[in-house]
Amino acid sequence: MEEMKIQNRITDTFWMNYRKLVRREMIPYQWKVLNDEGEIRIEPERNDPGIPAEKSHALENFRIAAGIHEGHHYGWVFQDSDVYKWLEAAAYALAEEMDEELKEKADRVVDLIAEAQEEDGYLGTYFTIEEPERKFKSLQNSHELYCAGHFMEAAAAYYQATGNAKVLETAEKLADCIERALGPAGSFGYDGHEEVEIGLMKLYHLTGKERYLNLARHFLLIRGTDQDFFGEQKKTDPGKKPLIRGMDQLPRSYFQAHLPVLQQSSAEGHAVRLVYLLTAMADAAAASRDEALLNSCRKIWDNITKKRMFITGGIGSTVHGEAFTFDYDLPNDTMYCETCASVGLVFLARQMLRSDARGEYGDVMERALYNTVLSGTALDGKHFFYVNPLEVNPASYKYDPGKSHVKPVRPEWLGCACCPPNLARLLASVDQYIYSVNGSTCLAVLYMKSETRISGPEGEVWIRQETDYPKSGEIAFSVRKTGDFDFQLGLRIPAWTDQAELRVNGQLSSGKAQDGFVYLRIPEGETEILLSLSIRPILWRADPRVRADIGKAALARGPIVYCLEERDNGKDLHLVSLDREPDFEEKEEEGLLGRIISISAKGKRIQIPENAGDLYSPVESGTLEKKPVRLHFIPYYTWANRGSNEMTVYVRTE
């Protein structure tokens, strides 16, 4: 049973709500933004005075490139990708549930994109409008292939959802144009921002055309094999001004071009770029069974997840270059943890699962998904975080320019608007992440109420998941197999649980456990499986080499990381600590934060001395007074939904 097709339908309340949010709020809201309708309030991006932030202009750029309107390109050189990501999100929404009005809008966007495409297939509004002589001549910063990759992803998704032929045709014409210019027979060159490789892989999966796989592999494998490709291109770049100010000063590692990818083994440079690169590498490795490529992915994955990832699944330890820094450097209040980077980490985990059936990929996927990804949007679906901190003090945001990137509330939009549509496209396609099917094995990676049909030449398997995970850890699978073929279901046993029980047709079963999955061979007919995972509040500490977390712990309940907010716990959250016996109490509640399980715990609060006149005082003069307090934790992803206030994930422990 080589080629199994899978169709999922989410019926889970938690995720349906997010998908409704995408459909009803994010997609219409982002449509308005892309069309420059209404006014958008953006928090001052104090560190990035160069960011154009007054309007999006993204669709208008296409109208100008298409010759429909006159004017100049406005915004980032990669502004087109906002439109593509919107289209991709719309595609997934339409795949879930047809909506003629949305389809009509999306079809018009496809028409517009096709009109903006040049005769030879070139697509990129900045260069078409402003500097045609510079096409493909400034790849370090042009984002031409980056945008192309996003269009290919959108095209594949939109074609699959609607059968729109024009979108696929436009994307293939673009891929051909890129292949002529920069393929194995063209000039040497790769993009400063990886993404086209993902797009090409999507075209390959959709069309089965080997040339897209080959072109993706070409871009992956030539990366970093040069002495100084970006520098060489710069010398002959016909443009005078940098496409993005200061970016040509960045080191090669920022672009993951410091070494050939097969020689890279640590997470370097811009976090989003790296996870996009790895996503494509893992995808191509799975498609072409390339063990060397896969090995690089595994090594870098290990480096990320064992030494450079926050407990929230956030990555990127510094705002400078939105980048990785060094092992165990995970500062809670100056980090970056861009929403897009965690979205990319989810993409990557999914691709890794295709080659390696290891539970850790699913663990990290859900860690990123339930925490940093969801934190990227306000509960209203109309405010977004770019940066997802683990500790915030509004005064630092306001008065310390070194922390001005760490906003205490989500702005309505972002000068660099990569995150909101990235989030939308992931949430709208989250059904694709539930299972990973490889040969005769289906891995259950995410647990959510859903109905799934897996069909192959020899028959079908229907899987119905009944659960309110992660509120509870009870997941019931009703599996119906028709046809006599080999099929096994692997259930992920998350590393965070300390107890998992499996019942098959009512009988306790141990299954076959391996690498974080427990496997069951599924017979023909009906099988009832009940997986019971213990989900309870657990305190986690970081490896002691993480300086920022020494003497502290973070609370999680299943995959969901918790935090303290000032709103519930008063100001100066650094003054509180958790008792050694915290006596956790869980409480299901519904309110401003939606339906959540809040957790309270026993703690202490250091009292500020009443007559504190001296900034420094002898320790021997007496210990600081502490008062017992009840600490109130909320899920991290719900923070900053009740106005600007302090927040912390890590809490001091006794």
Q: Which helix (H) or strand (E) holds 437?
A: strand 435-438
If the CB atoms of residues 202 and 405 are measured against a second copy, the closer one turns out to be 405
191 phi/psi in degrees, rounded to 5: -80, 150
Angle formed by the axes of helices 196-207 and 210-222, nearest 10°: 160
The candidate with the shortest Cα–Cα distance to 604, out of 633, 634, 582, is 582
Tell the burial category of 603 from Cβ atoms under 10 Å away from its Cβ (0-12, 13-18, 19+).
Answer: buried
User: Considering only residues 441-500, where is the footprint of a second copy by CB under 8 A?
Assistant: 495, 498
User: Considering only residues 368-397, where is the footprint of a second copy by CB under 8 A?
Assistant: 393, 395-396
Q: Considering the complex, what minimum distance in angstroms separates the CB of residue 562 from a second copy?
A: 14
Cα 70 → chain centroid: 36
User: Considering only residues 513-552, where is the footprint of a second copy by CB under 8 A?
Assistant: 538-547, 550-551
Q: Considering the complex, what minimum distance in angstroms separates the CB of residue 588 from a second copy?
A: 23
Which residues is 293 bridged to in the sheet?
none
- If one asks whether residue 309 binds a second copy (CB under 8 A), the answer comes out as yes
Q: Which part of the chain contacts a second copy (CB under 8 A), choosing from 175-183, 225-233, 448-456, 567-575? A: 567-575
- If one asks whether residue 270 binds a second copy (CB under 8 A), the answer comes out as no
Contact with a second copy (CB under 8 A) among 320, 521, 587, 595: 320
Calpha distance 307→319 (Å, rounded): 18
Q: Considering the complex, what minimum distance in angstroms separates the CB of residue 615 from a second copy?
A: 5
Buried b (16+ CB within 10 A) or exposed e, 611-623: eeeeeeeeeeeee
Q: Considering the complex, what minimum distance in angstroms separates the CB of residue 326 from a second copy?
A: 4
Question: Does residue 290 sit in helix, strand or coil?
Answer: coil
- If one asks whether residue 325 binds a second copy (CB under 8 A), the answer comes out as yes
Contact with a second copy (CB under 8 A) among 486, 624, 627, 630: 624
Q: Which helix (H) or strand (E) holds 435?
A: strand 435-438
* Residues noted as catalytic: 322, 418
H helix intervals, 289-373: 291-307, 339-355, 359-367
- If one asks whether residue 508 binds a second copy (CB under 8 A), the answer comes out as no
Q: Considering the complex, what minimum distance in angstroms separates the CB of residue 608 from a second copy?
A: 6
Q: Considering the complex, what minimum distance in angstroms separates the CB of residue 403 from a second copy?
A: 9
Question: Does residue 454 sit in helix, strand or coil?
Answer: strand
Contact with a second copy (CB under 8 A) among 35, 438, 644, 653: 653
Q: Considering the complex, what minimum distance in angstroms separates the CB of residue 565 from a second copy?
A: 16
Size of the site for a second copy (CB under 8 A): 59
Contact with a second copy (CB under 8 A) among 236, 249, 507, 611: 249
Q: Is the dihedral of CA 619, 564, 317, 365 positive or negative?
A: positive
Q: Which part of the chain contacts a second copy (CB under 8 A), choosing from 191-199, 201-209, 276-284, 319-327? A: 319-327
If the CB atoms of residues 351 and 393 are measured against a second copy, the closer one turns out to be 393
**Residue that has been written with the tokens 């007074």 in this structure:** 625
Contact with a second copy (CB under 8 A) among 111, 118, 329, 458: 329
Calpha distance 412→37 (Å, rounded): 13
According to DSSP, residue 623 is labeled P
Q: Which part of the chain contacts a second copy (CB under 8 A), choosing from 60-68, 164-172, 317-325, 591-599? A: 317-325
- If one asks whether residue 585 binds a second copy (CB under 8 A), the answer comes out as no
Site mask for a second copy (CB under 8 A), range 76-105, x = bound: ------------------------------
Q: Which part of the chain contacts a second copy (CB under 8 A), choosing from 71-79, 93-101, 128-136, 618-626? A: 618-626
Tell the burial category of 78 from Cβ atoms under 10 Å away from its Cβ (0-12, 13-18, 19+).
Answer: buried
Q: What is the CA radius of gyration of the chain?
A: 25
Alpha carbons within 13 A on the beta-carbon side of 480: 5
Calpha distance 491→468 (Å, rounded): 16
Dig out the tokens for 289 from the structure: 């069974």
If the CB atoms of residues 364 and 491 are measured against a second copy, the closer one turns out to be 364
Binding site for a second copy (CB under 8 A): 49, 249, 305-307, 309, 311, 317-321, 325-326, 329, 334, 393, 395-396, 398-402, 495, 498, 538-547, 550-551, 553-554, 572, 574-575, 606-609, 612-620, 624, 652-653
